[in-house]
Homo-oligomer: A and B are copies of this chain.
Amino acid sequence: MPQPTPLPAIAFIGTGIMGGPMAGHLLAAGHPLHLFNRTPAKAASLVARGGIWHDSAEAAAAAGKIVITMLGLPEDVEAVYFGGSGAPGGSSGILQAACENALLIDMTTSSPDLASRIAAAAAARGVAAIDAPVSGGDIGAKNATLTIMAGGEQDAFARARPVLERLGKSVTRLGAAGSGQRCKLANQVAVAVGMVAWCEALTIAAAGGLDAAAVQRVISGGAAGSWALSNLAPRALSGDVSPGFLVRHLVKDLRIARHEADTHGLELPGLAVAQRLYDELLAAGHGDDGTQVLLAHRSPAAED
């Protein structure tokens, strides 16, 4: 009988709402797991289950054959990979700290350009890097049913795939570095404009005196149907704005998408509308609500 190959050590940086359960699946699978998180308390349960805490992202990264990052903003990704003055005493960044032949996987939803810069800097150092953002939210992270959209070299993706398949039900490489991020941005554009679609539909229905819940049931089975109309609209109609996906995160993603659209000279007027509405929601204090809060939103312009 062949001996089972020991699973490679993984460093997991960023163990929040998404990263926490994802790291947990890798631990459960038997990977040695090295951990860092800006807020240490959020890694405590993983440490209790056998994860190894490190006092910096660099120290954790240096201990892993594979390094996974699941952070908040592109600025966080930039700082963690390239280092900077944000950390106490400055930091060198995980690109410097990673061991030779390491594989870096950024699963944050971030900028395609940054993903390309990370891949280039990694190649210059003899390490591999791919971008692999996800959709599916905290539920998908908990149930390991994420959709994972990857970009980077074929070889690096082939090394990453067995690990990614522990986290998601669908793992696809879309192309070169940055392609995973570009696919995720396309996803977010469809999500955001799709939210406008059903919110405006139920708004015009309610304004005409109809029972919006009845309209939701009637129209969701046909050509107007969508995942969001079936899953988020009923929550919005019942006044439940608890987050599946936060307004502030969608606002971040739409800003990256807008930058990407501008890069290619694309107008994308639907995206412009969605971005304006979600910017307004953020400004009105709804950043920590779920995106379905859009249904209750009345644009300031409409109240003039």
Residues of A within 8 A of B (CB): 112, 135-137, 140, 147, 149, 170, 172, 174-176, 178-179, 182-183, 185-194, 196-205, 207-211, 214-215, 217-219, 221-229, 245, 257, 260-261, 264-274, 276-277, 299, 301-302
In the complex, what residues of B have CB within 8 A of residue A301's CB?
A: 267
Most chain B CB within 10 A, of A140, A190, A204, is at A190
Interface pair B208/A112, CB less than 8 Å apart: yes
Interface pair B224/A202, CB less than 8 Å apart: no
Interface pair A205/B183, CB less than 8 Å apart: yes
Interface pair B189/A135, CB less than 8 Å apart: no
Going nearest first, the 8 A-B pairs with the smallest beta carbon separation are A193-B197, A190-B201, A226-B226, A190-B224, A207-B264, A196-B270, A186-B205, A267-B302
Per DSSP, chain A at the interface is: helix
In the complex, what residues of B have CB within 8 A of residue A196's CB?
A: 193, 197, 269-270
Interface pair A224/B194, CB less than 8 Å apart: yes
User: Which residue from B185, B207, B224 sits with its C-beta under 8 Å from A227?
Assistant: B224
Task: Report how far A200 CA is from B198 CA in the complex, Å.
Answer: 16
In the complex, what residues of B have CB within 8 A of residue A191's CB?
A: 197, 223-224
In the complex, the count of this chain's copies comes to: 2
User: Which residue from B203, B204, B261, B269 sits with its C-beta under 8 Å from A273?
Assistant: B269
Task: Report how far A277 CA is from B272 CA in the complex, Å.
Answer: 14
Known A170-B218, A226-B227; further 20 A-B contacts with Cβ < 8 A: A136-B222, A136-B223, A147-B219, A147-B221, A174-B214, A183-B205, A186-B204, A186-B215, A186-B219, A187-B218, A187-B223, A190-B197, A190-B200, A190-B224, A193-B193, A200-B271, A208-B260, A269-B273, A269-B276, A273-B273
Task: Report how far A218 CA is from B221 CA in the complex, Å.
Answer: 22
Smallest beta-carbon distance A220→chain B, Å: 9
In the complex, what residues of B have CB within 8 A of residue A257's CB?
A: 204
User: Which residue from B190, B198, B274 sits with its C-beta under 8 Å from A229?
Assistant: B190
In the complex, what residues of B have CB within 8 A of residue A140's CB?
A: 222
Task: Report how far A225 CA is from B218 CA in the complex, Å.
Answer: 18
